[in-house]
Every structure is written in structure tokens, then in C-alpha cells.
Chain A
Amino acid sequence: MSHPRHELDALLGHPVRYSIVALLAGATRAEFGYVRDQVEVSDSVLSKQATALEEAGYLKVHKGFVGRRTRTWLSLTGEGRKRFERHLAALRRIATGDLAGA
């Protein structure tokens, strides 16, 4: 049985990307400003990391209007959710010291 580090997702090794995906994992979607506030990053950092995740197929960006104001919403794709679940499972194994696999 392989070491759980091999199951870790390289893209989610980045702390900001991990935080974004961890937040979106439980959400249907979240507003850009909400993610920025919760992850505690600037607009530009979030925008850059969200683009990286979108290009990798982990995340979808939706734009819409609320009244006259434009709003941007972020949501995880099915693939992004699957990758995050696998990443979490590997983290759990590392956290519990189950390095050989159950």
C-alpha cells in the first residue's frame, strides 16, 4: 500500500487554493466577496488562484447581476469536489498515522 502523500492533490498543496476549495466544498456556490473575506486574501490573489483552479477544471466562475451590480459567484465542479475528497482522505490518513492504508 502506498504512502498517502501520493494521493495528495498537487494543486491543493497551495494553502490559498486549498482554502478556496475547502470553503466551496460545502457550498452550492459562494459570492466572490464572501470567499475573499473567509479566506482572508485580497481580490487579486483570489482572482489569480480562482483562475488557476478554473483552468484546471476544479472550479466554475459565474457572473450575474443583482439589481444593477454585477456579482461573481464561485462553485466547485464535480471533478473539483472529487479531487478535494481524495485530498481530504489522504490528509485524514496522514493525520491519524494510517500510512499503510486501511
Chain B
Amino acid sequence: MTDPAPSPDEARAALDEAARHADRLRLEDQKLRLVLVVIAVAYIAAGFLLAIPRVQQPAVSPGLILLVVMGGVVVACVVLLRRMRAASRRGITRYFQSIIAFGLWNVTVLVVSVATGWWAPGMPGFHFTISTVVAAVPLVVAAALMGARPR
């Protein structure tokens, strides 16, 4: 039992403080948003690199460039996540949901691309690029929603 009771104004001030803390935590979620953006950009860049026809390929092999890009992504994500001082429950949940959605959507895009012949020998390279852009949609949507105020 706690006595005396806070006044209605004191109770409102305490409730406001809790809401303020939740808002500040959402600012920390911006780092998770950045991680999603980095993954999406790297994924689309990889799509472009792998779609370059062999005859037009740069002196350095696209496979090597891809390896460097992916290595950079891993390092960037680790650095960003290590710099996070706090993470909201909502932000972390949404982050992992986004990664799972991205994985599932990716498989769907791959299966549909192969089954419909969109990816087939002799098809232009931009088909592959378009598929990677479509596959990255869940990451882009999640990044846009990350850190948004809950309704």
C-alpha cells in the first residue's frame, strides 16, 4: 500500500514521462532502419553486378566486387548494431520480422522467376536486376516503417 496518493497532475506527469522514454527509444531504432537500408542497397547493387553480361564485365571480376560489397555490408551492420545503446522491443521485433519476410519473399521471387522463365538462359540481364529490386521490397517497406510512432 502506498500513501499518500499522487495528485492527478502528478500521475499525468509520470505517464507523460513514460511516453517520452518510449519516443526516445524510437530514435535509437533509427540505427536498425539504417541496417535494413544498407542490406537493401547492397542486395540491389549485387543484382546489378551479377546482371552485367560477361563481354561487358569490368577488369575486376564482378564476383570479387560482390564479395567486397557483401563483406562491407557485414562490417557496416556489425558496427551499426554495436553502436546501439538501447533497442525498443517493438523495433527489434519489427527488425527480425523484416529479415524473415525478406527471406521468404526472396525465395518466392526466385521460384516465380525460374518457373515463369523470367530467369532462363538467353534472357537479358536486367531480368535478374528487376527480380533483385522486387525481392528487396520488404526491406524497403520495413525501413520506411521502422521507428514510426505506433497508432
Contact = CB atoms under 8 A, between A and B. Distances in A.
Our verdict on whether A and B bind, yes or no, reads yes
Contacts of B15: 88, 91-92, 95
Nearest to A74: B86
A66 B82 contact: yes
Contacts of A66: 82
A6 B12 CA distance: 17
B54 interface: no
B25 interface: yes
Nearest to A37: B85
Contact of A26 (B1, B3, B12, B25): B25
Given A4-B5, A38-B24, A94-B11, A30 B18 contact: no
A29 B28 CA distance: 12
Contacts of B58: none
Contacts of A27: 25, 86-89
Count chain A CB atoms within 10 A of each CB in B2, B4, B6, B89 and give the residue with the most: B2
A66 to B, nearest CB: 6
Nearest to A91: B11
B134 interface: no
A17 B92 CA distance: 25
B85 A34 contact: yes
A20 B91 CA distance: 19
A61 interface: no
Contacts of B8: 94-97
B75 interface: no
A28 B14 contact: no
Interface in B72-88: 82, 85-88
Interface of A: 3-6, 8-10, 13, 18-19, 22-23, 25-31, 33-35, 38, 66, 88, 91-92, 94-97
Interface of B: 1-8, 11-12, 14-15, 17-18, 21-22, 24-25, 28, 82, 85-90, 92
A-B complex: 6 closest residue pairs judged by Cβ atoms = A5-B5, A30-B86, A34-B85, A95-B11, A94-B11, A22-B18
